[in-house]
C-alpha cells in the first residue's frame, strides 16, 4: 500500500485549534502504523490534537492518545512496557470494548514484527511534531527489586507488591469467593462463584479427599483461604495453608474463624521452603507455582515430595507458556504486576515432577476457562471502578485493568495456557491408590 492510498480516507481531522501543531499527529504517525501493521491501524486512533486514523469502517473500538508523552514512552521502551506506562499514566486509553481493541491490534501485527522496528519511524514522527525526545518519567508504582532473584527476602517483596494492595480491592475484583486462580465453568450459565466452587471441588476430588474424612491437606500458596475452607467443610479435611503475604494470612485467618473452621484449618505465614518434618496425605498448589522460578522447580517438587506419605497426591495448577517465559524486568508484567514471575512449559513441569519422584497421572488444560474467569474479573472491576480507584489509586487500578485484559486475550488465542498436573507418590510395591479412570473426580 503506497502513502497516498494510506492517507486517503484514513486520516480524519477535526477543525484546527490554537494548540494544534503544524503537522497533525495522525499524519505524522502514518509511517509508524505502516511499520507495525503494514498499513492503517485496525482500530481508530484519536490523538491529542483532534486528528485521527484508522479503518474506514468497522472499528471494534478506539485508542485515544491524550498526550505526546505516550510516544516518548514507546520510543524509549518499545513494546508492552512503553505501552503500559502510557496507559497507567492516562496518556493512552482504550474506548469501547478493551478486549476487542487489543485482540484486533494483536491480530493485525505480524508475529515477526516488533515494536522496535517502528522506533525509527516514531523518532521521525516525534521530530515532525516537535516532541521532546528525552525519556518520559515512568509511573511511581514500578516494582523495586534488589537482592538475589527468588531468594526468600526478594520473593517476599515480590509477593507483597502484588498481593498486599488491600483485601478490599481484591474483594471488588474477585467477588465473594476471594479466589485468585482459574475457575471451572462446568455449564454455560455458571456464575463466577459457582465456577470457583466447581474448581475447588475438582481439586479436592483429584486429590482423593473424598476417600475418607480427616485426610491431611497442605495448601501451598493458600491465598485468602477459599480452597482450604472448601476442603474442610465439604470433605472433612485437616488443612494447613501457607502464604508469604501478610495481608492474605490475616484475612484468611479471620475468614476461617468466622466460618467456625479454626479447629480444621491452620493458616501460616510461611515459605514453602521452610516446610520440614511433616507428613500430608495430599498437597495442592493452585496459582502459586508462577512465583517459584525455573531454577528452583527441582527444589520445589522435591520439597513437596518429601512432605507426602505413600500414595500421597500433588496437584499443581499453574499458568504455562510454550517454551517457558520469565517475566523480564523490561516487560510490563515484570515491572508492574508479577515481579520475578515465571511461566513454565507444562512439559518441563511433568519432567520436573517425575525427576522428584512423582508418577504423573493426569494433565488437564483449563485455558478457555481462564479467559472466561478474567472476563468476569474485568466486569467486577468495571462495576466497582470508582471504589477501586479510591482504594488503591488510579494507576494501580489501571494496572489491573490492563494486565487482566491482555491476559484474557492471551488465554483466548492460545498465547497462554493453564494446566493442572496430578502426580502421586507410589508405595514400595508400586501401588498408587489412584482410581482406574477419571470418573473418580469428573462431575
Residue ranges covered by each domain of the chain: 3-128, 152-440
Alpha helices in 134-174 (DSSP H): 152-163, 167-174
Which residues is 142 bridged to in the sheet? none
Return the pLDDT at 220: 97
How much is the pLDDT for 149? Answer: 61
Residues 6+ apart with CB under 8 A from 20: 49, 50
Greatest distance between any 2 Cα atoms in the chain: 84
How far, in Å, CA of 79 to CA of 102, rounded? 13
**11: helix, strand or coil:** strand
Residue found by looking up cell 485482540 in the block: 103
> Could you give the CA distance from residue 147 to residue 150 in angstroms, rounded to a whole number?
9
438: DSSP letter: G
Q: Which CATH number is 152-440 given?
A: 3.40.50.150
What is the pLDDT at residue 88?
92
Residue 78 phi, psi dihedral angles, 5° rounding? -60, 130
Q: Output the tens digit of pLDDT for each of the chain's 443 residues.
A: 333 322 223 333 333 333 444 689 999 999 999 999 988 999 999 999 999 999 877 788 899 999 999 999 999 988 888 999 999 999 999 988 888 999 999 888 876 556 778 899 999 999 999 999 998 888 887 756 555 565 666 655 655 655 567 899 999 999 999 999 999 999 989 999 999 999 999 999 999 999 999 999 999 999 999 999 999 999 999 999 999 989 999 999 999 999 999 999 999 999 999 998 899 999 999 999 998 988 899 999 999 999 999 999 999 999 999 987 765 556 787 788 877 778 999 999 999 999 999 999 999 999 999 999 999 999 999 999 999 999 999 999 999 999 999 999 999 999 999 999 999 999 999 999 999 999 888 76
Give me the DSSP letters along 277-334: S--EEEEEEES-GGGT-GGGHHHHHHHHHHTEEEEEEEEEEEEE-TT-EE--TTSHII
Decide: 238 and 209 in contact? Cβ < 8 Å.
no
Report how far Cα 419 is from the mean position of its chain's Cα atoms. Answer: 14
Question: Quick one: which of 4, 122, 6 has its CA closest to 68?
Answer: 122
Q: Classify burial at 428, counting beta carbons within 10 Å of its beta carbon; exposed 0-12, middle 13-18, buried 19 or more.
A: exposed
Distance CA(82)–CA(8), nearest Å, equals 29
Q: Return the pLDDT at 110.
A: 74
Residue 311 zone, left/alpha/beta (φ > 0; ψ -120 to 50; rest): left
pTM of the model: 0.88
Amino acid at each position: 500500500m503506497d502513502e497516498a492510498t494510506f492517507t486517503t480516507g484514513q486520516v480524519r481531522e477535526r477543525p484546527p485549534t490554537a494548540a494544534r501543531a503544524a503537522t497533525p499527529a495522525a499524519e505524522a504517525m502514518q509511517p509508524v502504523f505502516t511499520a507495525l501493521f503494514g498499513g492503517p491501524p485496525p482500530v481508530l486512533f484519536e490523538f491529542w490534537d483532534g486528528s485521527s486514523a484508522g479503518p474506514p469502517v468497522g472499528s471494534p473500538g478506539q485508542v485515544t492518545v491524550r498526550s505526546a508523552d505516550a510516544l516518548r514512552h514507546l520510543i524509549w521502551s518499545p513494546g508492552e512496557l512503553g505501552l503500559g506506562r502510557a496507559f497507567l499514566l492516562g496518556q493512552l486509553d482504550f474506548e469501547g470494548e478493551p478486549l476487542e481493541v487489543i485482540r484486533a491490534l494483536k491480530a493485525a501485527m505480524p508475529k515477526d514484527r516488533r515494536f522496535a522496528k517502528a522506533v525509527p519511524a516514531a523518532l521521525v514522527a516525534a521530530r515532525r511534531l516537535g516532541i521532546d525526545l528525552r525519556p518520559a518519567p515512568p509511573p511511581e508504582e514500578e516494582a523495586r527489586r534488589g537482592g538475589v532473584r527468588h531468594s526468600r527476602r526478594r520473593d517476599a517483596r515480590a509477593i507483597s507488591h502484588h498481593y498486599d494492595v488491600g483485601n478490599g480491592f481484591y474483594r471488588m475484583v474477585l467477588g465473594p469467593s476471594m479466589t485468585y486462580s482459574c475457575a471451572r465453568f462446568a455449564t454455560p450459565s455458571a456464575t463466577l462463584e459457582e465456577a470457583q466452587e466447581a474448581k475447588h471441588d475438582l481439586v479436592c476430588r483429584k486429590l482423593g479427599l473424598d476417600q475418607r474424612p480427616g485426610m491431611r491437606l497442605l495448601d501451598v500458596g493458600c491465598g485468602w483461604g477459599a480452597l482450604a475452607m472448601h476442603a474442610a467443610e465439604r470433605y472433612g479435611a485437616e488443612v494447613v495453608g501457607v502464604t508469604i503475604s501478610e495481608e492474605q494470612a490475616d484475612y484468611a485467618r479471620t475468614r476461617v474463624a468466622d466460618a467456625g473452621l479454626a479447629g480444621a484449618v491452620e493458616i501460616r505465614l510461611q515459605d514453602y521452603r521452610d516446610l520440614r518434618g511433616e507428613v500430608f496425605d495430599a498437597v495442592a498448589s493452585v496459582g502459586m507455582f508462577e512465583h517459584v522460578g525455573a531454577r528452583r522447580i527441582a527444589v520445589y517438587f522435591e520439597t513437596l515430595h518429601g512432605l507426602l506419605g505413600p500414595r500421597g497426591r500433588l496437584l499443581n495448577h499453574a499458568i504455562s507458556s510454550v517454551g517457558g517465559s520469565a517475566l523480564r524486568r523490561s516487560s510490563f508484567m515484570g515491572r508492574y504486576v508479577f515481579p520475578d514471575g515465571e511461566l513454565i512449559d507444562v512439559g518441563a513441569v511433568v519432567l520436573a515432577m517425575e525427576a522428584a519422584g512423582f508418577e504423573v497421572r493426569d494433565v488437564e488444560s483449563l485455558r478457555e476457562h481462564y479467559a472466561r474467569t478474567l472476563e468476569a474479573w474485568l466486569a467486577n472491576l468495571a462495576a466497582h471502578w470508582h471504589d477501586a480507584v479510591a482504594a488503591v489509586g488510579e494507576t494501580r487500578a489501571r494496572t489491573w485493568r490492563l494486565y487482566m485484559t491482555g491476559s484474557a486475550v492471551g488465554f483466548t488465542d492460545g498465547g497462554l495456557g493453564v494446566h493442572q498436573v496430578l502426580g502421586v507418590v507410589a508405595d514400595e510395591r508400586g501401588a498408587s491408590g489412584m482410581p482406574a479412570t477419571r470418573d473418580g473426580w469428573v462431575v
